[in-house]
Amino acid sequence: MPSLSRYLIPLTLAGITLAAPAEAGQRASISVSETRLDRAIIAIGKQTGTSIGLRDPSLAPLRVHPVKGDLSAAEALARLLADTGARARRIADDTFLIERAAAPRRAPVPLPRTAPLEPPPPEEIVVTASKRETLLSQFAGSASVIDGAAFSTGEAGLGTDGIANRVASLTSTHLGPGRNKLFIRGVADSSFTGPTQSTVGQYWGNARLTYSAPDPDLKLYDVASVEVLEGPQGTLYGAGSLGGIIRVEPMPPDLYAGGGGAWAAGQLTEHGDPGGDAGAVLNVPIAEGSAAFRGLIYGGIDGGYIDDRRRGENDVNRVRTLGARGAIRVSVAPDWTVDLTGTFQSIKGDDAQYADRADGGLSRASAVAQPFRNDYLLGEFTVRGMIGDVRIVSATGVSDQYVAETFDATTGDTPRAFSQTSKIRMITSETRASQRAEDGSGWLIGVSLLHNSAKLNREIGAVTMLAPAAGVRNRIDEATLFGEATIAPLPRLAISAGGRVTYSWLSGTAEDVPATYAFRFDAAARASRGEWRALPSVSLRYNPLDDLMVYARYEEGYRPGGLSIDSDFIQRFEGDRIGTAEIGLRWGGATDGNVEIGASLAATRWNDIQADLIDGVGFPTTANIGDGRIHSAGINATWRVVPALKLDASVYLNDSKVTAPAPVLIAALMRPLNGVALDSAAAARKIADSLPNIAGVSARLGFDYGAEIGGGMLLRLSGYGRYIGKSRLGIGPRLDQPQGDLLDTGLELRVGAANRAVSLGITNLFDTRGNRFALGSPFLVGQSDHITPLRPRTVRLGFEFGF
């Protein structure tokens, strides 16, 4: 593989350069019809001989006023942008910069979720995860776009759970913060995080967060938006996007407006310990219009609520989180910026969060403490700019993740523990160019490189005498070329096609045991190997009406293979591949901003599924379990009943099967459990069950109400109820444990002005237990009836201020 240090980062600086520059005050004959902002400023620039820059891509589709007459460039821009929320800032005699108006200062301040009672005119939502800033009304696929301002500080502190509470197709395991796996649209492989790559791609801006590691659960403080794309995204995102992707866009530094804010909150959990959270954000222009710094620091304690009867300890599962982010943005030309960002977060849990189903579901009897930890560090360097009407983005990221876990492995009177640590380093680089027209046509081409190294070490034995067990190290290097093009043969019709070609080099080795012993049953696993993958995609989008779009889409995704551990031996598992055909519609939002509806139907085939099983000793192990299929359907709707009240509802249905089981799965199902073995007929019935962790039905109902109460103060009341249907822990006799069938609820009241606010939030309103995840320790599965309950009713009182 070529060295990953040789990244091509385009540094060409270009803007809109016009032949005969004129003084900004000189008048010219101007004629611009009502159109998009990016088109209008090009026209005014040509007609006045001035340079007009636009750095914020989210402003490009903004509809602006028509302008006609003998005007100066400044006068024309003022008329063009009147009441649009954007402004023209003069940075030289003949140069202007278009930016958001200074009034909404929430960019440097995380506080003011205050909004006028009268909703703004319908605004086109941009799907930046398409890598072409595609308008939602022109995006042929299922996408959820959440404005970062929708997350209160209480919700932001939930991390990924805050997203899952809003997107019905997104689910998670609940082993603990920083230990979970995420699933979208029923594409779920197993309950454990091992050497397999996640089925969901996670991105922080342009940087990939994980490869073969659990969700780092970064908190959502000070973010601009969150996007969830459903279905395989192999063309644009490559390996590990089988079910879809989650992309979080943090707030960038503001080059002009300084400011900041802080918050602090305390919380009380019924049946448990108190907790709290606090943080601050600061934005400082270093050189106005040219460079700025934005920084964030936060911390929190989630009080424990699980008692351990055997050890005589109460509220053992306390979790502490500490995090920080910093970003520097430099404008090197009117259309070019350079960003350098860093993100750090550490999660430390004192003990596991599972309980026995009996005795109220908030206590257990375990022989040893089971702490866990997830330390995550990410650095990213990004260059963005325009060459004519071609957008260039080049991003390089480096991440390190350290995950440590301890499980109770006691099977008799002597306390025993199993611990494992994972150290993962990932380096990614991607450079892409794209062009998009107003009708949605355009193209995208890019290259990317990836290196991921994951080292897993394990120990087991008496608590004071842990002995090394077999570990494994996996390494993968990838080089990729990808592209996509869209044509619009008719005014309301668009056809897209794309592809991705990847070469992967995979290698691995044993840890802590002699290689001659570790590979004795699978000698082929010792060999490094390379493999080519080609992923196609095609979609069709038709807009029969201005506010109605229907689409059809087919796309594929994959994960490479690797090495896993079966007891003390190393074995090889192969890559898997998925293909999804989808049809859907999206109605509303273009000419009618009161009601919006989206719906989709999808059929998925999944070959050589990678999944985790429990071996004969109790260790989780990874293998290819066969082929499967998934059918899913989803519908979501929002309705602004009156200007002050908005309702949202969504329902997601899923049905999955393992259609062609592999011999290893049949053998696992027939393995004796507690002295009882399944026969072949019983094993076949188990195979017919659905894939793990995905409920047959999930649904959400939410509301958001705002009312002015005088003195510049606004009252906001929001709430939700989310139902998670029945599912099972995993595949195999040890993992066939029921979970789900629960209702999660939340309510929040906020009263505040632009620079101060107080909030009162309540989660789990009915103090229900439920069972989010039927796993305590893999060594105890099948021996105890363990549940992971919802956090009991919790009240949070928060105070926020900005400056």
The mean pLDDT value of the chain amounts to 85
Q: In what order do the strands lie in the sheet with 143-147?
A: 143-147, 223-230, 244-250, 200-204, 207-208
Give 205-223 as a 3 state SS string: CCEECCCCCCCCCCCCCCE
Is the pLDDT reported for residue 34 higher than 80? no
Is the pLDDT reported for residue 102 higher than 80? no
Is the pLDDT reported for residue 16 higher than 50? no
Is the pLDDT reported for residue 369 higher than 60? yes
Map tokens 């499980």 to a residue. Answer: 407
Span 769-795, mean pLDDT? 88
Map tokens 């993968």 to a residue. Answer: 476
What pLDDT does residue 517 have?
67
- The token duo for 492 is 């309301």
Residue 683: pLDDT band (50, 70, 90) is: low
Q: Is 606 exposed, middle or buried (0-12, 13-18, 19+ CB in 10 A)?
A: buried
Phi, psi (rounded to 5 degrees) for 680: -65, -35
Higher confidence at residue 45 or residue 390? 390
Residue 679: pLDDT band (50, 70, 90) is: low
Paired strand residues for 17: none
Residue 712: pLDDT band (50, 70, 90) is: confident
Is the pLDDT reported for residue 799 higher than 50? yes
Is the pLDDT reported for residue 6 higher than 70? no
- DSSP label at 591? S
Span 541-546, mean pLDDT? 92
Span 715-739, mean pLDDT? 85
Is the pLDDT reported for residue 749 higher than 90? yes
What pLDDT does residue 59 have?
78
Span 149-156, mean pLDDT? 91
Cα 174 to Cα 178: distance, rounded to the nearest angstrom: 10
Is the pLDDT reported for residue 531 higher than 60? yes
Is the pLDDT reported for residue 622 higher than 90? no
Higher confidence at residue 238 or residue 671? 238
Helix or strand (DSSP H, E) at 259: strand 259-269
Is the pLDDT reported for residue 123 higher than 70? no
Q: For the whole model, what pTM was predicted?
A: 0.84
CATH class of the domain at 126-237: mainly beta
Cα 39 to Cα 59: distance, rounded to the nearest angstrom: 11
Residue 706: pLDDT band (50, 70, 90) is: confident
Span 304-331, mean pLDDT? 96
The pLDDT tens digits for 323-362 are 999 999 999 987 899 999 999 999 999 999 999 988 788 9
Say which residues have a Cβ less than 8 Å from residue 401's Cβ, sequence separation at least 6: 210, 213, 216, 374, 375, 376, 377, 422, 423, 424, 425, 426
Span 163-179, mean pLDDT? 92
Listing DSSP states for 296-354 in one string gives EEEEEEE----EETTTTBSS---EEEEEEEEEEEEEEETTEEEEEEEEEEEEEESS---
Whether the Cβ atoms of residue 459 and residue 466 lie closer than 8 Å to each other: yes
Phi, psi (rounded to 5 degrees) for 182: -110, 150
Residue 593: pLDDT band (50, 70, 90) is: low
Q: How far is CA 206 from CA 237, 435, 566, in A?
A: 11, 18, 36
- The token duo for 733 is 């006799």
* DSSP strands (E only) in 365-520: 372-387, 390-408, 416-436, 442-462, 467-490, 493-511
- DSSP label at 36? B
The pLDDT tens digits for 411-444 are 888 899 999 999 999 999 999 999 988 788 999 9
- The token duo for 715 is 């009252």
Higher confidence at residue 32 or residue 593? 32
Cα 469 to Cα 779: distance, rounded to the nearest angstrom: 15
The pLDDT tens digits for 458-511 are 999 998 888 888 888 889 999 999 999 999 999 899 999 999 999 999 888 888
The pLDDT tens digits for 36-75 are 788 788 888 888 888 888 767 667 777 787 788 888 888 8
Residue 116: pLDDT band (50, 70, 90) is: very low
Residue 711 — left, alpha, or beta (φ > 0 → left; ψ -120 to 50 → alpha)?
left
Whether the Cβ atoms of residue 222 and residue 110 lie closer than 8 Å to each other: yes
Give Cα 742 distance to the centre of its chain. 23
Cα 338 to Cα 182: distance, rounded to the nearest angstrom: 32
Span 144-151, mean pLDDT? 89
Say which residues have a Cβ less than 8 Å from residue 516's Cβ, sequence separation at least 6: none
- DSSP label at 686? H
- C-alpha atoms less than 13 angstroms from C-alpha of 294 in its C-beta half-sphere: 25
Residue 315 — left, alpha, or beta (φ > 0 → left; ψ -120 to 50 → alpha)?
left
Is the pLDDT reported for residue 155 higher than 50? yes
Cα 162 to Cα 763: distance, rounded to the nearest angstrom: 12
Residue 569: pLDDT band (50, 70, 90) is: confident
Q: Under DSSP, is residue 682 helix (H, G, I), strand (E, B) or coil?
A: helix
The pLDDT tens digits for 544-564 are 988 899 999 999 999 988 887
Whether the Cβ atoms of residue 90 and residue 103 lie closer than 8 Å to each other: no
Range picked from 1-10, 132-141, 228-237 for highest mean pLDDT: 228-237
What pLDDT does residue 84 have?
75
Domain edges within the chain? 27-100, 126-237, 244-802
CATH of domain 27-100: 3.55.50.30
Q: Which of 402-406, 580-584, 613-617 has the lowest mean pLDDT?
A: 613-617
Which CATH superfamily groups domain 244-802? Answer: TonB-dependent receptor, beta-barrel domain (2.40.170.20)
